[in-house]
Amino acid sequence: MYICFAMAERTPRSERKRQDSFGMFDRYDSCSEESTSSSSSEDSEDEVPSIPASLPIIKNNGQVYTYPDGKTGMATCEMCGMVGVRDAFYSKTKRFCSVSCSRSYSSNSKKASILARLQWFLLKALTGGDTSVPMGTCWGDLAEGVRVEVLNSDTNLSTNVYWIAGIVKLSGFKALLRYEGFDNDTSRDFWCNLCVPEIHHVGWCASSGKPLVPPKSIQQKYSNWKAFLVKRLTGAKTLPSDFATKVHENMQFPFKKLMRVEVVDKSHLCRTRVALVEQVIGGRLRLVYEESFDGSDDFWCHMYSPLIHSIGWSRSIGHRFKRSDVSKKIDGQMDAPAQLFAKVKDVDQSGEWFKDRMKLEAIDPLNLSAISVATVRKVLADGYLMIGVDGSEVADGSDWFCYHSTSPSIFPAGFCEINNIELTPPRGYTKLPFKWFDYLRETSSIAAPVKLFNKDVPNHGFRQGMKLEAVDLMEPRLVCVATVTRIVHRLLRIHFDGWEDEYDQWVDCQSPDLYPVGWCQLTGYQLQPPAAQMAREIAAAVPKHKKKAQQYKGQKKKRKVPVGRRPFSQAGRRRSLSGEEEEQSPPPYSSQGPTLAPRSRTHHHYHHTHKPESLLRPKEEQAEVDEFTFSQGVSDQESNGSGSYYIKQEPC
């Protein structure tokens, strides 16, 4: 929104009203800490011509500028955001400042208007217009130099007073602000979240009857603050008047409590289960598996995560599914509408396509710091693939994981070598350094064609060293302070501040699990700070096993937690070098939301077991009676060889 002024005709002096163009100083004299009645050259300017009493005036370089009252004489262009005299606007409705804006609005629809564009904003470099973040598509409308009205902290007054500040720097949802009048003096600069209720557009104080008082430090700098502000603010931008309303509207999310979804089974990555939405915070969902009667068996993910789907998704693509034993639904339950979920690109599988046993490289979901040698284990419908990490797969395939063919988490053979990324070879593979040509020949397999992979690289704007708030995908309840340490096309290496590099994670630039600085404050989600120096020193004192050169670098054992620190992990196990697992019981969970204890990096995203096959199979055969693999055109009685069956019925 532009701040502008319009010329006015002369009227009798008796009707002139001494008031500034914003109505900002209505109560300034009574609230100022010191007298500002001293004379100056600004005060002795030529007499100002008279104007109607209904239009407040302000002097600026000997000319008269008016800023009509917003309720009666002012209008805002719905296309470009310019503010001006209503009578000068185009058309009877006075919605646009010119014919050009009217036509542009009509041709582009309301999406093109500044009001619609400002519904979503975020630092462009952080989301590239990603709507997974509240206010996340048009940060370009907010920039350095935009003016806002904020509380004046440099005052001795007992009541709240305000002053105008300009944006000096943007960082996510936060802005570095400087009060007007400080010029290049940075001593009073302060950071503030632009989406909090304490931030207002210029003119809010006038309409709300709040006093504008210059900071105490510079109160004597100018004798005529009205003239100073008019000169500084003419032509500047501010927030739209309904900015706070837009923030509130964009914090509303379509997922509601008790909606049913299909989500990955954290104990068996190869299948999905039904879960209920228990909580929604900033678009992040706390899902409770349907069979968890006490609500402790939960899973956190974003509503646009590729891990959740609408009811019936598994059946439609042939994915394994664990049927729930719950026969009675809770009152209020409903299946989440399909249109609420993230959409994937349509692909043509009729021509050259992925085939079973093709080799590729993939981010290991059980060790997100590693890109591993992997194999296509099964081709599903609609472009989905079941992937297994070579050398660490369980015999029954329970650790296979599902990626879409367009997923940015799978890569053609040779991707790591070309981009100087360390590729994790299969566990037990001894011919090191790993060479794809030799491995393909030894395994009598072929690499998936390069043309089948997603090669789109958005202009995301991320830069090395940028700070953000990121979900620890190994403990997805936690959102942590993080840094971008490396960028490979659209792939980002995320480092969690205060923790060793071994806990870094590879994440796509458009992941819904990356947030701008200030996201937690905006949504009320607790931000996990960097690890304390003491905790790092204690952890560093723990003796580590000496690593063999070029050994398998799969899922690492969990890190020992310093004494006195409460471990915070989901019930689960991680892939280890030996194949054995260390188990932890789930921590107590508060129903009041993610108010978390100090963070411990135990990294348990998925609950996964690695037991000898002879011990695992009898238990699996008993446990998998209610698990199904959906496939079209296959008999209900046909077995898939692992205690699962193909059926055509809807999961219930």
Residue-wise pLDDT for 120-170, tens only, equals 333 444 434 444 455 554 455 678 889 999 999 999 888 899 999 999 988
List the one residue out of 411, 576, 427, 432 whose CA is nearest residue 488: 411
> Are 396 and 479 in the same domain?
no
Residue 106 lies in a domain: yes
Query: Which of 332-336, 351-355, 515-519, 628-632 has the weakest average pLDDT?
Result: 628-632
> Are 418 and 565 in the same domain?
no
Asked if the model's pLDDT at residue 563 lies above 60, the reply is no
Residues 169 and 144: their CA atoms lie apart, in Å, by 6
Band of the pLDDT at 332, cuts 50, 70, 90?
A: confident
Mean pLDDT for 185-213 is: 89
Residue 49 lies in a domain: yes
> Are 49 and 117 in the same domain?
yes
Residues 132 and 375: their CA atoms lie apart, in Å, by 31
Residue type, 646: Y
> Are 184 and 108 in the same domain?
yes
Q: pTM for the whole thing? A: 0.64
Contact 485, 438 (CB under 8 A): no
Query: Which of 184-198, 280-294, 420-434, 559-573 has the weakest average pLDDT?
Result: 559-573
Query: Is the model more confident about 160 or about 612?
Result: 160
Band of the pLDDT at 344, cuts 50, 70, 90?
A: very high
Q: Work out the number of other CB atoms within 10 angstroms of the CB of residue 26.
A: 18
CATH number of the domain enclosing 511? 2.30.30.140
Residues 272-302: pLDDT tens digits?
Answer: 999 999 999 999 999 999 988 777 889 999 9
Q: Give the per-residue pLDDT at 335.
A: 94
Domain that holds residue 231: 13-249
> Are 442 and 467 in the same domain?
no
> Are 223 and 365 in the same domain?
no
> Are 22 and 153 in the same domain?
yes
Residues 10-22: pLDDT tens digits?
Answer: 334 444 443 343 4
User: Over the Cα atoms of the chain, what is R_g?
Assistant: 30
Residue that is last in its domain, among 181, 214, 249: 249
Asked if the model's pLDDT at residue 564 lies above 80, the reply is no
Q: Give the per-residue pLDDT at 82.
A: 61
Query: Which of 95-104, 113-122, 299-308 has the weakest average pLDDT?
Result: 113-122
Residue 652 lies in a domain: no
> Are 111 and 235 in the same domain?
yes
Residue 210 lies in a domain: yes
Q: Give the per-residue pLDDT at 634.
A: 39
Asked if the model's pLDDT at residue 398 lies above 90, the reply is no
Band of the pLDDT at 328, cuts 50, 70, 90?
A: low
Band of the pLDDT at 513, cuts 50, 70, 90?
A: very high
Half-sphere exposure (Cβ direction) of 191: Cα atoms closer than 13 Å: 8
Query: Which of 16-20, 259-263, 280-284, 410-414 has the weakest average pLDDT?
Result: 16-20
Query: Which of 38-52, 248-262, 303-317, 508-522 has the weakest average pLDDT?
Result: 38-52
Residues 168 and 190: their CA atoms lie apart, in Å, by 10
> Are 173 and 84 in the same domain?
yes
DSSP-based three-state secondary structure for 141: helix
Q: What DSSP letter does each residue of 253-287 carry, written as one string?
A: -S--TTEEEEEEETTEEEEEEEEEEEEEETTEEEE
**CB crowding 544-570: b at 16 or more within 10 Å, else e:** eeeeeeeebbbbbbbbebbeebebbbb
Tell me the torsion sign for CA atoms 230, 231, 235, 239. Answer: negative
Q: Give the per-residue pLDDT at 110.
A: 36
Residue that is last in its domain, among 249, 268, 295: 249
> Are 426 and 490 in the same domain?
no
Residue 638 lies in a domain: no
Taking 3-state DSSP, the helix, strand and coil percentages for the chain, each rounded to the nearest 5, stand at: 20, 25, 60
Q: Give the per-residue pLDDT at 217.
A: 92
Residue 644 lies in a domain: no
Residue that is last in its domain, among 214, 229, 249: 249
Please state the domain count of the chain: 3
Residue 59 lies in a domain: yes
Query: Which of 111-125, 374-388, 511-525, 534-548 has the weakest average pLDDT?
Result: 111-125
Mean pLDDT for 296-323 is: 94
> Are 119 and 71 in the same domain?
yes
Asked if the model's pLDDT at residue 486 lies above 70, the reply is yes
What's the whole-number average pLDDT of the chain? 73
Residue 320 CA to its chain's centroid (Å): 30
Query: Is the model more confident about 533 or about 185?
Result: 185
> Are 499 and 395 in the same domain?
no
Residue 4 lies in a domain: no
Query: Which of 16-20, 115-119, 622-626 has the weakest average pLDDT?
Result: 115-119
Of all residues in the chain, what percent carry a pLDDT higher than 90?
A: 43
DSSP-based three-state secondary structure for 166: strand
